[in-house]
Amino acid sequence: MIDIVDRFIEYAKIYTTSDESSETCPSTARQKDLGNLLVKQLKEMGIDNAHMDENGYVYASLESNLDRESKSIGFISHMDTAPDMSGENVKPQILEYKGGDIKLSDSVTTTVEDFPFLKDLEGQTLIHTDGTTLLGADDKSGIAIIMDAVNKLCENKDIKHPTIKIGFTPDEEIGRGADLFDVEKFGADFAYTLDGGPIGELEYENFNAAGATITIHGKNVHPGSAKNTMINSQLIGMELFNELPVAQRPEHTEHYEGFYLLTSFEGTVENTVMKFIIRDHDKKKFEEKKSYLEKLVEFLNVKYNNAIELDMKDSYYNMKEKIEPVMEIVDLAYKSMEDVGVKPLVQPIRGGTDGAQLSYKGLPCPNIFTGGYAFHGKHELLSIDQMKKASDLVLKIIENYSK
């Protein structure tokens, strides 16, 4: 049997970064390299129905061995890594962590001062980067956990289980992971995404999310003759940004507090494009944030003669609304964590997962920890101890449901 650590390292080395500018699905063909490997490994376990569709989604089903009818449980993770930092030529490093700062390279160090969670990881075995790429624990640790647990089910026929549905998605990091996921074909009654962070995380609430693109048209003339003529689109953009509440920026928010985030600002005197993401757990506050931005644009358009265009679209919604009617699936995960010696940490996701969109497509889908930290950057790391505990948790969820 392939060790869970070897699985993760093999997956992490496969270049699967997604690309927001691409209009294909998957957004990058390289994601299928991992998909093909997963299908091959699932078939080697004896799951002959494992396959990848034309859009890069991997589906598999391990049939029930119970002597009664039962609902089927799904486990889902995503194959892509975030475009925030290079995911090419990843070189995972294993460390028996005794405490203190972690030197990734001659010029890059993960310090306890910057990353105080390191204090909680003393005595654990970690996998970290070499300081030149991200690691890919988000979400290849989730994939390794699912594959490890499913392989144990396949090798030990005495373990009772309902029908287990397995799904691996592309493009989650660019918000498209659930777009073409075939819930009906997947066939699970409920599922869990393995896409969380530190041990104990159990999440069934996430942000409501929207994206906004603001295009500003200025008027450029020679600065020597610009008086009463030039309209600098960049300055209008700065004025707009400064009218948004300072306290509602990500760096000033936590827990259930929402925010506006300016993700890009590109411009000249003639034309400027600003991109925002808007987030809030509370649906009413979410709508208020969008409305405020709309009214701000309207106000500035009066001032600047309709120089501003706003294109705003919702991305996903808080899955809490869809999970609350079936809270027994959260309770199942909660009890199973306690059974494997993990203290459950129920908290809102300050982000989104495939599970949010899947819940609205009819597949209730809470999220579970994988043992990763500091995602999307060169300081990303993974606790092997916690990843193994997450695999134990998957098996315990299956065991408890099968009783």
Tokens of 226: 């610009």
Q: Which of 172, 195, 203, 392 is catalytic?
A: 172
Residue pair 28/17 in contact (Cβ under 8 Å)? The answer is yes
Tokens of 118: 């390191």
Give me the DSSP letters along 201-241: EEE--B-EEEEEEEEEE-B---GGG-TTT-B-HHHHHHHHH
172 as an active site residue: the answer is: yes
60 phi and psi, to 5 degrees? -155, 160
Residue in 342, 347, 317 with CA at minimum distance from that of residue 202: 347
Tokens of 104: 């990734």
257 as an active site residue: the answer is: no
In order of 43, 336, 349, 403, the CA distances from 329 in angstroms are: 29, 11, 17, 15
198 phi and psi, to 5 degrees? -60, 160
Tokens of 356: 């949010």
Inter-residue long-range contacts of 299-308, CB under 8 Å, 24+ positions, other chains counted: 300/236, 300/239, 300/240, 304/231, 304/236, 307/216, 307/217, 307/218, 307/231, 307/233, 307/236, 308/214, 308/215, 308/216, 308/217, 308/236, 308/240
Relative to beta strand 345-346, strand 201-203 is parallel
CA distance 395 to 357: 25
Catalytically active residues, by annotation: 80, 172
